[in-house]
Amino acid sequence: MPDKLLKCGDCGEMFTWSEREQEFYKEKDFTPPKRCKPCREKRKKDRANRGGNRNGNRPPKSGNRR
């Protein structure tokens, strides 16, 4: 399985998806990356700075369901 060139969905730059990374993704049943490593790290940092609440700013659901 040779290295592959992929285009980053964020910055548009081409990046190498190494044979080793491909094997790892295959073992974990992951889909191919959509972003280059710098953009993945930036996205991860931005998400961490938002506080990690995946529901945005919605308040917690009330326990009073009927």
pTM, to two decimals: 0.68
53, 59 contact by CB (below 8 A): no
Taking the CA atoms of residue 19, residue 20, residue 26 and residue 30 in that order, the dihedral angle to the nearest 10 degrees is -100
Domain boundaries, the chain: 4-49
> Residue 40: in which H helix or E strand, if any?
helix 37-49
What type of residue is 62?
Answer: S
Q: Is the dihedral of CA 49, 54, 55, 60 positive or negative?
A: negative
Distance CA 20, CA 17 (A): 8
Question: Could you read off the pLDDT tens digit of each residue along the chain, which spans 66 residues?
Answer: 899 999 999 999 999 999 999 999 999 999 999 999 999 999 999 999 987 556 556 666 666 655
